[in-house]
Amino acid sequence: MFNWRFVTRALGLALLAIALQAHAAVVSDTEEASAVQVPLADSLATQSADAPLSEPVAVLSAAAQNVIQFFESVPGAKAVEEHLREAAELHGVDFYLLQALIATESGFNVRALSNRGAVGLMQIMPTTAARMGLSGDKKNPIRKKLQDPQTNIQYGTKYFATIQNMFTGRLDLALAAYNAGEGAVQRAGNQIPNINETRNFVKKVTDIYTSLKARALAQILPGTPVAEPAANTAVSLPPVPVIQ
């Protein structure tokens, strides 16, 4: 007689193994940015005191909940999710990392324009987009093309993938280079440049990324300890000019 009880138990163990592998991958991603000294909450994730031990409950910190609420309340975040997933898969960049980048750069404002001329969601300079292969003409210059969310995300992700490969295994340096330029990181001896804006950028993106990954992990493995962002992490719309 076929032993269905054995098969059911084996399937359960297999699913548990897959979930644990996902947890290990998240921990690895978090450790990748170990050079960034981000203070973590003393309690990474706790089980409710009132919950039975047999029913673990994942609890995200107030800082993480602040980040999650931001993504749930900003219409632009949901509107470009499909474009983000496509770019993430095409260029091999973590989907949650792209979300964190855009939240920090533009607050998902597709019409954002920096004082330096960086355009759109991922705040791409037209010269950088040109390096990545985007061309324009008098009728449709690169600056105008970058106002399209899908175009902006594709070329912004392609650029980030390029610098991520340049600084393999150092997410903190890739983020620093995205903010200050590859040259600035190299001139600093392959360290985060001593620029307040850049250091704050690296920390904020890392904190938001950690929150998003924590939520994803909590959904996979309720009750599993997860890394949390700094207690003072807050997400708000960046004060950048808007294209008229």
Structure confidence at residue 157 (pLDDT): 98
Structure confidence at residue 213 (pLDDT): 87
Question: How far apart (Å, rounded) are the C-alpha atoms in residues 105 and 235?
Answer: 11
Structure confidence at residue 220 (pLDDT): 62
Does residue 230 register a pLDDT over 60? Answer: no
Whose CA is closest to 145, among 156, 133, 153, 136?
136
Structure confidence at residue 57 (pLDDT): 40
Say which residue, 146 or 236, is predicted with more confidence.
146
Give the SS3 label for residue 204. helix
Q: For residue 53, what pLDDT band results from cuts at 50, 70 and 90?
A: very low
- What proportion of the chain, given as a percentage, has pLDDT over 70? 63
Active site residue 105: yes
Structure confidence at residue 222 (pLDDT): 52
pLDDT in tens, 55-82: 334 456 666 677 778 888 888 899 999 9
Say which residue, 221 or 31, is predicted with more confidence.
221
Structure confidence at residue 66 (pLDDT): 75
Rounded mean pLDDT, 216-234: 55
Give the SS3 label for residue 80. coil
Distance of CA 200 to the CA centre of its chain: 15
Residue 71, CA distances (Å) to 65, 67, 79, 80 in order = 10, 7, 11, 12
Question: How far apart (Å, rounded) are the C-alpha atoms in residues 242 and 108?
Answer: 12
Check if the beta carbon of residue 242 is closer than 8 Å to that of residue 109: yes
Annotated domain spans of the chain: 4-220
Give the SS3 label for residue 124. strand
DSSP character at residue 39 = -
Does residue 106 register a pLDDT over 70? Answer: yes
**Active-site residue identified among 55, 105, 197, 228:** 105
Does residue 107 register a pLDDT over 80? Answer: yes
CATH 1.10.530.10 fits 4-220, yes or no: yes
